[in-house]
Amino acid sequence: MDMPYRQVDRIAKLVPSNPANPVTLTQALNEEDELKKERDSDEQVAELIRVSCQLEGLYRHASTHAAGLVIGDRPLPELVPLYRDPRSDMPVTQFNMKWVEKAGLVKFDFLGLKTLTVLEQTLALIARRGIELTLDDIPLQDDKTFDMLSRGDTVGVFQLESSGMRDVLRGLKPDRFEDIIAVVALYRPGPMENIPNYVARKHGQEEVHYMHPWLEPVLSETYGIMIYQEQVQQAAQVLAGYTLGGADILRRAMGKKIQAEMDAQRETFVAGAAGNDISPKLASDIFDQINAFAGYGFNKSHAAAYALIAWQTAWLKANYPAEFLAASMTLDAGNTDKLSVFKQDCVSHGIAILPPCVNTSEARFIVEEVDGVLAVRYALGAIRNVGMEAMAALVTERQANGPFASVDDFADRLAGSLSKRFLENLIKAGAFDRLVNNRAQLLAGLDAIVGHGQAVRRERESDQENLFGGVADTQLKIVLPNVPESGSKDRLDHEFSALGLYISAHPLDDYADRLQSLGVVSSGEIEAVVQERGSGCRVNLAGIVTSKQIRTSARGNRFAFVQFTDQSGVFEVTLFSDALSAARDHLDSEAPLLVKADARQEEGGIRLLVQNVMPLDAVAYQGTKEVELQISHPDALEGIRQGLERDGAGAVTLKICVNIDGKIVKINIPGRHRLSAGFRQMIKALPGVDSVRDIS
């Protein structure tokens, strides 16, 4: 129908999502006024909904169960029809998971969780410090871990890291492993409505009720709330004399909601309860209440297994945060959004992120000790366009033959794998800073370095001695161009292009003293702010544009999705036609921007609708007409002059104050200047500059 994906996605999200009891489009139209409004106000949307109602219920595609394997007592083609998925070498059954069992096959689910690899790698990193630890050594009671969970400090913790789950944990304040099992089972559509009751009863704010006194031993662990399928079975066993096998049939009948089966089970339940002197009326009422819970009950065995992994990750984060975060970053090395989140979490835990280095980094993220404090060393394999295998080979060479002594040594020893793109990203990421602390010089000398490596490789492949007896390749030196080092902005731009995030600094760091006064919210704080102020609240954000997509709606209006980066990570905003038209020039610049947006809580997360975009420089120093520099040495003047030339013209006058023979002499610098945040940070770092003061 040639409709924009975002528009269709927005309309689809108006249909209530309830996996336990899916809502049809017809039901949604009867219940959701906003959906009806969309249909009635737009002919194309009306056509979309009409066609969708006709298609509803049909199979969209052939899909393969993510973890299900079936086993038979003879070759599978003799039992079921098979289908070959073009994306896989493994044949799959044409029957779904319910019908394969009726056909005589046994189905097993083998779930692959990357969290298990995170745990394994965390233990391996801890072992490097001489601490031998296994998962079996982790206790199920640890105050440090419970304190961390109660703060909602769960970035990277299996099952517990979503913002909603963090809110639950802050209210729950778990202090026993059983709480983790319960919250894993409850935090799903349907049972979520019981979370407030569970929390209130745990903290004595609500009285615990039992449907029958005999149920207290069954439900005391969960404060009288039926959470697990096993509790359904136990209730039937205790109250109505069911066998556990019979209780399992009851549980399945309740889950299927087949009326004939339910009527038969009700009779069995009431008759069994009568044998325990429970009246038919009370027994029928209890049956109805159990049935209400059984519709979305979770089996405790599954919840407990997940809770154990959640606890293990939480315990490792609480007790060995550096190793845990390093392992987590390795498993998400190709996901810069996740790396930004983990990097920010490192900062909040006081763990430094060390830049990549050809002489200390490994292909994966590792932990180093610096002045007695643990830090995470950035992985070479997480640098863009270098390849994990190539970085593993680099590390193997270094471990076998020692650190690289120079760029020449590096080019000689890795001559077989050098490429311009490979080297360029290593340089931009800062991986050669310990060998040559001038990235601009290395970038300018790329051709020389690659050419040297190619010459060495050709000579080795020729298997012939040269004029100098086969040792000339180690004597030839790479001559790098004599160019000055790039400015801090260029270094940060290069770093971002190579890593997908800033690690040594961020362009917004120059505005640190101004962001707070402007009421700027970091990307990591958006969800908390929306929960505090409410959906639709206005927020101020600051960031650098990293990408943008401009689209045309079905009505011909232009709109855009723009991604920004700030010190906390990455955030995306939406601009409709008016805001996009006003902001177009600013979005094309590389300057930091101040974004005013309405933050709306939607089903898929927070949506940021932009109202206004302005250059941060213009807002941060608005009202400043004059800047006064206090200097104590004339050597600073040349640096100030060069900085003014690079920064460009503006609307601010500059005055330099210098102490000469005990007298303060004020020098008015001709012209008007921009005096950006970058310029201010640069001159503050100059020897001889004592202070920078704004005069309104």
Place of tokens 């012939």: 464
Q: Let me know whether 558 and 489 are in one domain.
A: no
* 199: in domain: no
pLDDT of residue 604: 59
Number of domains in the chain: 6
| DSSP assigned state of 221 | G
Q: Let me know whether 487 and 543 are in one domain.
A: no
* 657: in domain: yes
Q: Smallest Cα–Cα separation from 565: which of 545, 549, 584?
A: 545
Whichever domain contains 602, its CATH number is: 2.40.50.140
* 146: in domain: no
From residue 507, give the alpha-carbon distance in Å to each of 84, 298, 409, 441, 495.
Answer: 51, 48, 34, 22, 11
DSSP 540-579: EEEEEEEEEEEEE-TTS-EEEEEEEEETTEEEEEEE-HHH
Give Cβ neighbours of residue 624 (< 8 Å, ≥ 6 apart).
652, 675, 694, 695, 696
Q: Let me know whether 655 and 627 are in one domain.
A: yes
Q: Let me know whether 528 and 455 are in one domain.
A: no
Q: Let me know whether 490 and 365 are in one domain.
A: yes
Q: Let me know whether 24 and 103 are in one domain.
A: no
Q: Let me know whether 291 and 212 are in one domain.
A: yes
From residue 597, give the alpha-carbon distance in Å to each of 368, 540, 543.
Answer: 41, 7, 13
Domain end (from 576, 597, 618): 618
* 83: in domain: yes
Boundaries of domain holding 645: 621-695
Domain end (from 574, 596, 618): 618
* 686: in domain: yes
Q: Measured between alpha carbons, how far is 343 from 351 in angstroms, rounded to an integer?
A: 9
* 528: in domain: yes
Q: Measured between alpha carbons, how far is 5 from 502 in angstroms, rounded to an integer?
A: 31
Q: Let me know whether 612 and 626 are in one domain.
A: no
Q: Are 449 and 475 in contact (CB under 8 A)?
A: no
pTM for this prediction? 0.74
Tell me phi and psi for residue 223, to 5 degrees. Answer: 55, 40
Tell me phi and psi for residue 232, to 5 degrees. Answer: -60, -45
Beta bridge partners of residue 543, listed in sequence order? 593
Q: Let me know whether 613 and 626 are in one domain.
A: no
Residues in the chain: 696
Q: Let me know whether 471 and 522 are in one domain.
A: no
pLDDT of residue 332: 92
Q: Let me know whether 514 and 387 are in one domain.
A: no
Q: Are 471 and 456 in contact (CB under 8 A)?
A: no
* 363: in domain: yes
Q: Let me know whether 102 and 51 are in one domain.
A: no
**Mean pLDDT in order along the chain per 10 residues (696 residues):** 89 82 89 90 93 90 86 92 85 89 90 93 96 96 96 93 86 95 89 90 92 91 90 90 89 76 87 90 87 79 95 97 96 87 86 94 94 94 90 93 92 84 92 90 89 82 58 64 78 86 80 82 86 89 86 80 83 90 85 91 81 86 80 83 84 86 86 81 76 76
Domain end (from 592, 618, 644): 618
pLDDT of residue 203: 93
* 77: in domain: yes
